[in-house]
Every structure is written in C-alpha cells, then in structure tokens.
Amino acid sequence: MSADTISINSQMNHFDSHDSVWLFGYGSIIFKADFPFLQRRPAHIAGWARRFWQGSHDHRGTAEAPGRVVTLVPQEGAICAGMAYLITPEVFAHLDHREKNGYLRVVAEIHFSEEEKTDGLLYIASEENAAFAGPADEEEIAWQIARAAGPSGRNSEYLLLLAQALRELGSDDAHVFAIERHLLRLERETAGR
C-alpha cells in the first residue's frame, strides 16, 4: 500500500450522513487539536496497544532520517486511553491530509466509561503501509526519536507532549513512559558532554 492514504480515506463514507461523528485520538490528536470540534472527552478503546512503530517522514522526520510516531497494534486485553472529539464529517478532509503518511480511518467502539460507549472513527497505520517502521527495542526507538526532526518539529517534542498528555489523562502507558525515560537519559548524557 502506498504511504499516501488521502484517496483511500476520502472513499470512507461510513458516517457521511451523520451530523457529527466521534473521533478517537491516541497520539498527536490528543495534544494537538488543530481542528474544530463540538465536544472533547477522555475515552479509551479496548483490544489495541499504542506503539511507536510508525515511521514519520512528513511531520517529525525526513525521508533521510525518519522519526517515529505512534500507531495501534491489536493486543488481546489491552486498553488504550486517549481523547475523543465530536466533529462534523467535513473535518475529515483536514484530518486525512494531516494523517496521510500511512494512516487509514477505521471504525471502532469508543468507551467513555464502563457503561457508556459509541461507534466512531480513529486513524491506524497498519503494518501494510510503506512507512511502517515496526517493533524495535525501546532504547533504540528513543535513539531514533532523539535524532529526528521534521516540518512539525522535533520528534522528541512529540514524545514528551504525548507522555505529558497521558499523565494528565491518568494513563499508565509503560511503552511510552519507558521510551521517555530513555530519551531523557540520552539528553542528559548529551548535555553533560
């Protein structure tokens, strides 16, 4: 599958007849809401784990030195915390452009609490997309993030803002926090040289 997913996503018309749709964000969509929304609520999805396994050539890296950003991978029993936004369907044109480097819109069940849930959409970069970077040791991931930067800024900023947003949501994401610890140690070592 080509990395640019805009044309595939524009054919995704699942909620087109609806006045509004819930969008679940688990990465930069949590901390960078550069789109209009009607409501915003902390939420989670089940059966998916957040991983820094997607390459970023367009936002937090370059073709020569790609960064790493998060995607979701299926994992039984996993709970992924994030932020849900109620948006109007027109907003997807902007989001499809922003998430074009491999992310596809997927329908998911979004939970606001044990009792309250709704169907909505999220963006997932699956392992079939050309920019998929795949699993790596968390320390190696931190090394790659420490060196990368792109048009949206430093890759380390993405990681630190995400970790901060997850703390604010009360989410204990072992993968993200382990990479953050490695990154902060690397930065301290570099500063001490």
Q: Is 118 helix (H, G, I), strand (E, B) or coil?
A: strand
Which residues in the 79-138 window bind ligand SIN by CB under 6 A?
99, 122-123
Binding of residue 179 to ligand SIN (CB under 6 A): no
Q: Which of 64, 76, 90, 99 is catalytic?
A: 99
161: left (phi over 0), alpha (psi -120 to 50) or beta: alpha
Nearer to ligand SIN, 122 or 142 (CB): 122
114 neighbors 142 (Cβ within 8 angstroms)? no
Task: Select the span of 12-20, 24-32, 137-145, 182-190 touching ligand SIN (CB under 6 A).
Answer: 24-32
* 28 lines the binding site for ligand SIN (CB under 6 A): yes
Of the candidates 21, 29, 121, 159, which one interacts with ligand SIN according to CB under 6 A?
29
CB 180, min distance to ligand SIN, A: 15
C-alpha span between 41 and 53 (Å, rounded):
26
CB burial readout 111-143, b (16+ within 10 A) else e: beeeeebeebbbbbbbeebebbbeeeebeebbb
Paired residues of 105 in beta bridges: 123
Task: Give the range of 20-28, 33-41, 110-118, 141-149 binding ligand SIN by CB under 6 A.
Answer: 20-28
Residues making contact with ligand SIN (CB under 6 A): 25-29, 69-70, 99, 122-123
Q: What residues act catalytically? A: 99
